[in-house]
Structure 1
């Protein structure tokens, strides 16, 4: 806990200089609260979503009227999109994929059992177009404010030590450019290395899913990225949001000024 407090003091003072030097316009800079919701909404859920500044939702579960009601209360709506993994339940996309859209290892597709998904090759122009078409339809039909890219950290986890890593990063940059050209705000989950490599010019917000303050005592990786992301946050370049699962982590996040969502 002492280390967490010292980290907070250091971040606060180091962030002042960054804010003065780099403060830029970012549509998420004024956000102080957010909510993640991937199920079918109830009236109670919609009331809760209307109370936050930012909502990350599974757009297919909401009608345009429900989304408009939430937006009219001042909430920015972000449509969940899995960048690197395709869910088996998503029959709209699974019915259109081609065999070379899948990442293969030793001739076998990479299946992630925990989520019932397959790892996808975003370098393939066909799969890129499927993703971009999904996003464009949600922009046009549901009129969302932005896109929330999940599974971005797979770009580093699976490929950082391979010859293909650079080509995957370039593919993500191409997708980010297209989404940005659609006028949508871009928000991504974790994938900090990818954010630094290619995402910074396009990404307005980054989520630190399962933000755990105890990691700062044990992990130099966590401490280093906390410093970098705090600088992004205080400069206004990329706003940091946290999803927490314990009282200590929630308190540290709030003390550092990050919009914080407590996972139930």
Structure 2
């Protein structure tokens, strides 16, 4: 009788544990972070695909694409093979080529300097944006819904986050950084299972966004640029600390001296991708 009671008790406990696990599964964020930690080969590519590119995507651990350009069939096939696919969203700039988004903008959405002038980037044909504008945030959130969520991508890659610290006066950076944090929190509130990544913005990451960001990209992680630079070496240590605390991985991209750049990245356990074309990601290499 005693053995029977113990058996029934064990069964009830096992059943209760199963119910708890069913109600509280391992979060997809934890799963994504585990996959990102294991990434070895990744690419950053912002143009259309073809059958050869699609096949190559299936062999990668991670790929960042422009979801407006990349055909859905290649995204789906890559994900079926276990490739993590992130979709590009330009957070702090509005590209004039993206007419569907650009035509929704109001004057309040553009950043203006103290003279009231907009900041234009001729190289990219884009304008610096004002993320404190709730209207602009709503446009971006709708773009994420349309281009990332509805297409079933694993995460959103927010480009130009680093513009806040690179181009804005010191006395304006806090408001924009707080707006970036609020924006990312809104993404996570609406789409808890969607992974978030950002390009540059190391101080923004350290002071604001790290708890919500699964990886940060470091472009021009080239040995001649960062190998002996005191600021860069200090930042590498800080990013290691952030990774240890929040699980935020570092995706480094080298433009020069591939072997030395890769060795430096591997020293800090950063993921590495070599792009001899620099910050133009329109050719599959």
CA 97–219 in structure 1, closer or farther in 2 if over 3 Å, else same: same
The within-5 A match list for 1:212-223 is 212-216=222-226, 218-223=228-233
Query: What secondary structure is seen at the aligned counterpart in 1 of 2:170?
Result: coil
Question: Is residue 49 of structure 2 the alignment partner of residue 41 of structure 1?
Answer: yes
CA 123–235 in structure 1, closer or farther in 2 if over 3 Å, else same: closer
Higher relative contact order (CA 8 A, sep 6+): 1
TM-superposition CA deviations, 1:142-200 (whole Å, max 9, x none): 111101111011111123512x2221111101111122221210111111000011111
Distance in 1 between residues matched to 2:50 and 2:127, nearest whole Å = 30
TM-superposition CA deviations, 1:39-96 (whole Å, max 9, x none): 1111111111111111100001123322111100101110101110110101011111
Query: What secondary structure is seen at the aligned counterpart in 2 of 1:47?
Result: helix
Q: Normalized against structure 1, the TM-score is what? A: 0.85
Q: CA deviation at 1:217?
A: 5.2
Distance in 1 between residues matched to 2:266 and 2:53, nearest whole Å = 23
Distance in 2 between residues matched to 1:217 and 1:197, nearest whole Å = 25
Q: CA deviation at 1:140?
A: 3.5
Report how many aligned residue pairs link the two structures. 240
Matched with 2:181 is: 173
Distance in 2 between residues matched to 1:211 and 1:59, nearest whole Å = 25
Matched with 1:113 is: 122
CA 64–141 in structure 1, closer or farther in 2 if over 3 Å, else same: farther
Q: Which runs of 5+ in 1 are unaligned?
A: 1-23
Query: What secondary structure is seen at the aligned counterpart in 2 of 1:39?
Result: coil
Q: Normalized against structure 2, the TM-score is what? A: 0.79
Greater CA radius of gyration, 1 or 2?
2
Q: Which runs of 5+ in 2 are unaligned?
A: 1-28, 277-285
Distance in 1 between residues matched to 2:149 and 2:267, nearest whole Å = 38
Tell me, yes or no, if the aligned pair for 2:236 and 2:268 is still in contact at 8 Å: no
Q: CA deviation at 1:218?
A: 4.4
